[in-house]
């Protein structure tokens, strides 16, 4: 099947675009929304509820903070929307006290699953590499690891959409991909 990767900045429209894409892919099929966001405070609870109300009622929602591969391997649905890798990495770092070796293992496991999937999968992530260098070590590590995770997913994805101001561009359709070298 097909793997779609959707990235962009905060409030760029990436989640809305990914939901639209999953809706189109899911016509007449079972769609599962895999939520990685933890409800850590009242504002996050409201944000999660708002997003839930915006999704089609027939979609199944699964909250999975750490192991999205397990959800994909269950293969109980036709279309998967995973929102988002940015929070998944956050959860890995804080819940698992991640080392670089474990990060690489988890990334490899995800990429292996995506490379062999027979499902339609839409993944969402933030693009952090366009901003300033963070001031502290942990923030720089998060930025670096998210960049590497995004690159790995983009490499195996069939389509990679960059969303800016609500406009999506399929980067793999542009000439000069880094993978062409």
Indicate which residues carry an active-site annotation.
51
Give the three-class secondary structure for 119.
Answer: coil
Cis before 108? omega within 30: no
Sole residue written with tokens 């760029």: 12
Q: What's the alpha-carbon Rg for the chain, to the nearest Å? A: 16
What's the rounded Cα separation, in Å, for the pair 49 and 59?
14
What's the rounded Cα separation, in Å, for the pair 17 and 25?
12
Query: What are the tokens at 106?
Result: 């988890």
Please, are residues 150 and 8 in contact by the beta-carbon 8 Å criterion? no
What's the rounded Cα separation, in Å, for the pair 37 and 142?
16
Torsion of Cα atoms, 101 then 103 then 109 then 111, to 10°? -120
């Amino acid at each position: 099947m097909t793997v779609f990767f959707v990235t962009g900045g905060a409030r760029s429209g990436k989640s809305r675009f990914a939901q639209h894409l999953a809706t189109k892919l899911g016509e007449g099929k079972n769609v599962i929304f895999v939520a990685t966001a933890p409800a850590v405070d009242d504002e996050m609870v409201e944000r999660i509820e708002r997003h839930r109300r915006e999704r089609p009622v027939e979609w199944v929602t699964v909250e999975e903070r750490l192991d999205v591969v397990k959800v994909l391997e269950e293969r109980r649905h036709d279309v998967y929307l995973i929102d988002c890798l940015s929070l998944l990495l956050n959860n890995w770092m804080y819940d698992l006290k991640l080392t670089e070796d474990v990060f690489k293992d988890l990334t490899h496991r995800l990429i292996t699953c995506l490379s062999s999937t027979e499902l339609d999968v839409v993944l969402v992530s933030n693009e952090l590499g366009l901003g300033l260098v963070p001031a502290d070590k942990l923030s720089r590590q998060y930025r670096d690891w998210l960049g590497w995770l995004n690159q790995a997913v983009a490499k195996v994805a069939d389509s990679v959409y960059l969303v800016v101001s609500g406009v999506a561009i399929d980067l793999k359709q542009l000439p000069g991909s880094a993978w062409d070298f």
